[in-house]
Amino acid sequence: MLSPFRRFSAVPDSTGLYDGSHEHDACGVAFVATLRGEPGHDIVELALTALRNLDHRGAVGADPDTGDGAGVLVQVPDAFLRGVVDFPLPTRGRYVVGMVFLPDDDAGEAAARRRIGELAGEEGLAVLGWREVPVAPELLGAGARGCMPRFRQVFLAAATGLVAGVELDRLAWCLRRRAEREVGVYFPSLSCRTLVYKGMLTTGQLEPFFADLSDRRFASELAIVHSRFSTNTFPSWPLAHPYRLIAHNGEINTVKGNRNWMRAREGSLVSEVIPGDLGRLLPVCTPGGSDSASFDEVVELLHLGGRSLPHAVLMMIPEAWENTRRWTRRGGRSTSSTGCAWSRGTVRRRSRSRTGR
């Protein structure tokens, strides 16, 4: 099965002096949040303004209308979604919504949607319906359009109807992992808590490309935005940030070792909260992903495996330990010069580490 990181990207095969395994990115990150206790479209507007102000942190190629990547993570905009779908939704927190990148042909899309429905049933979920996401491809350059997927949102609930919150996200995570491996599609997000809009865009293209972001009903208490600069790399729809939990700036200098450590530990993984045989969800780090994508996948495993998100992130981003006797080096932790914003829809933080450069 073709990896979604290759299907929806302009990345060529490794040839000559080019080796895709050495790709890194260095980017711009910002987040906005309110403490007033209620979501608003103004938070989304402020985040998109911050994103446009990060234009200098992103990049384009010879085609100025093909960006390295831009995106936004928000809370699930419940009121907006209820207004744009023609099927009933359960109460907030009891349904999952996912942004999906599907093949850009009718037969491929139909086959992918059918198989996602079958996998959902196997993972204890039921498909409530699909929505076509309105986009404006005429804004994009030839490079971005040439590998552009179809954009759909899928809505799911537990087959029993009794699962909500992080327990529901665990079921959705299992479905997403299998669908990306077995069907070759890509989910920027699939959660009852957060929703991600992203792509092979410039900072100024994100909002006009995704018309949803301009709707006054589209509200959130928080938003994380990201502008990608793919250092010595090729742009890609899936490799834009934010990912499912994090938006990252920096290069993970130890990424190959980190992935090898994670691969070595997969045989001993067990979980009391993630249902079923974990073997169907492996490898943890998807081949073809960037350093940031792999980082997000491991944070997600730690969090959905039972740890709080702050705990999971602190396991991945060590405190600065140089000249601190009580700290010792431990294999497998990320070593980089980095800024990382992260959120599960209720908690949002920013972490920094300068342990490697």
pLDDT (tens digit per residue) in 112-159: 999 999 999 999 999 999 999 999 999 999 999 999 999 999 999 999
Strands annotated E in 13-161 = 28-33, 70-75, 96-102, 125-132, 150-158
- Under the banding of pLDDT at 50, 70 and 90, the label for residue 27 is confident
- Name the token pair of 249: 């700036």
Ramachandran quadrant class, 200 (left: phi over 0; alpha: psi -120 to 50; beta: rest): beta
- Under the banding of pLDDT at 50, 70 and 90, the label for residue 317 is confident
- For the cut 60, the answer to whether the pLDDT of residue 232 exceeds it is no
- Which of the two residues, 86 and 335, has the higher pLDDT score? 86
Instruction: Answer yes or no: are the C-beta atoms of 95 and 88 closer than 8 Å.
Output: no
Rounded mean pLDDT, 74-88:
98
147 as an active site residue: the answer is no
pLDDT (tens digit per residue) in 187-221: 999 999 999 999 999 999 999 999 999 999 999 99
What proportion of the chain, given as a percentage, has pLDDT over 90?
69
Nearest 5°: CA angle at 76, between 70 and 79? 120
Considering the domain delimited by 23-354, tell me its CATH architecture: 4-Layer Sandwich (3.60)
Q: Which positions ≥6 away from 248 have C-beta within 8 Å? A: 27, 29, 226, 241, 292, 295, 296, 338, 339, 340
- For the cut 50, the answer to whether the pLDDT of residue 354 exceeds it is no
Nearest 5°: CA angle at 304, between 303 and 310? 15
- For the cut 60, the answer to whether the pLDDT of residue 356 exceeds it is no
- Which of the two residues, 327 and 60, has the higher pLDDT score? 60
Rounded Cα gap, residues 57 and 54, in angstroms = 5
pLDDT of residue 318: 75
Domain ranges of the chain: 23-354
Rounded mean pLDDT, 342-348:
79
Rounded mean pLDDT, 240-247:
95
- Under the banding of pLDDT at 50, 70 and 90, the label for residue 235 is confident
Rounded mean pLDDT, 67-79:
96
- Average predicted confidence (pLDDT) for the chain: 89
- For the cut 70, the answer to whether the pLDDT of residue 328 exceeds it is no
Amino acid at 90: P
- Which of the two residues, 336 and 136, has the higher pLDDT score? 136
Catalytic residue among 27, 147, 174, 192: 27
pLDDT of residue 338: 63
pLDDT of residue 349: 55
Rounded mean pLDDT, 305-325:
84
pTM, rounded to two decimals: 0.88
Nearest 5°: CA angle at 98, between 84 and 90? 60
- For the cut 60, the answer to whether the pLDDT of residue 352 exceeds it is no
Which residue in the block uniquely carries the two structure tokens 């992903």?
289
